[in-house]
Structure 1
């Protein structure tokens, strides 16, 4: 049995803590008023509006469902066989249509209200652009198949196309890029970049949705790869981890001065770029069938059929 003295002491402690908690909570209204006042100033970046902004959670769900559609049977919640194929595809497309239309509509409406733009009929626009993306699925499936086969042909460690689709981070990154690039071409605000930045956070591979990338594209390992907005990549190009296809040193106010201009390199067909290579500049072209060695730094064009390598370093053993 607990002694009366101990019980009394615990009761006093509990009451003291309760009083302290109440006293500290009384400071919250002043903090809340301060935050609200700051939110009403121009220096606070906020979205305080009755109009909905695109949802990051919804974007992740769209990408998950798009992958189910692009690779039927691999990521589906239900088994797909020849008997239920049409039903399952129909179910996926119907759900995706509603998700896409809603988020595309939110994107346009947010832009209209934020920048006081002329009305584009956000609801109707959402339906139309969702149909356009879904109509592009057969083409996306075809080009993604070339990407997966390029991985199988270019990586001796790849055991099968199943392994590549299920487990290669580059397959995820390229799949998301292909979807986002389609939306980027449809001039959908916000969503394409939200998609590729989600993929970037998951895979470590940063591909801007504006980059133009041909078929049979393969990224081996992939971590640390950066491909800038105005990069142009031909067919059957293979790159390794840590490769940067970027812009030259940018001046002050570069966002305003260079937006929409070619800032990133062009990589022609059948080029291989090894780990750690950095290729910069909108006027830089790597000619077809060239091989770029690891850790090189390139800011000028390379002719076709050229091999560029670093001078062999000298090792010192002590």
Structure 2
């Protein structure tokens, strides 16, 4: 009995520091850039991809901004950043990726923000994003190239989300978006995607969000820019999100605007590397 109690106490001592350092957030950001090998299939030279070969995370739990930039030797380059620096804390995302032949490089930029509606009457507002980008695709590679963005709106019964203790934990929590333990209820979702070469691409997409006095609405924004088999996907020109009307909406956090990365510099990084599986799959 005494030995069991001692072991139990020792186990609790070991576990306690881990539990005490878990981070709970009402808003945050995360970045993850990856490199993989293409796997040829019946339709293209990159029908599928290998497990992740190299990667880099950016952003701790609750960070107002996150970034990761990496040149992957023999694969290409990727650079992404995300911040809660838009109007009343709305997410702003930048990303760019370029790959060598037979390789696939990707960015994963994700932001989470929550807003409490303090108005006196129920209403419906629109939350949307404007994405500006350019891309050069060397072929059609299902789910492995182009620009891809998502806006999710939802409610939770919990006041915060546990995002673990490391940048990897933080990214996994925001990217996988499994908030069932926090009482997740879907409100609306919208996706934007373009897999074709486009020297001057742009797109606007949005969700309608019903608001009830005193309610907190959560918004998750994801931007991915996979580039496969020598392709270049450059969305460093920015995905900017905003409410159509921010009256009586109080964000969990706001951050000051961060300097926008030069799209030319980010693209040059990709071109230097060149010379320069599903969407929901991590990386």
TM-score normalised over the length of structure 1: 0.21
Judging by fraction of residues, say which structure has more helix. 1
Judging by fraction of residues, say which structure has more strand. 2
The structure, 1 or 2, with the larger RCO (C-alpha pairs under 8 Å, 6+ apart) is 2
Larger Rg: 1
TM-score normalised over the length of structure 2: 0.23
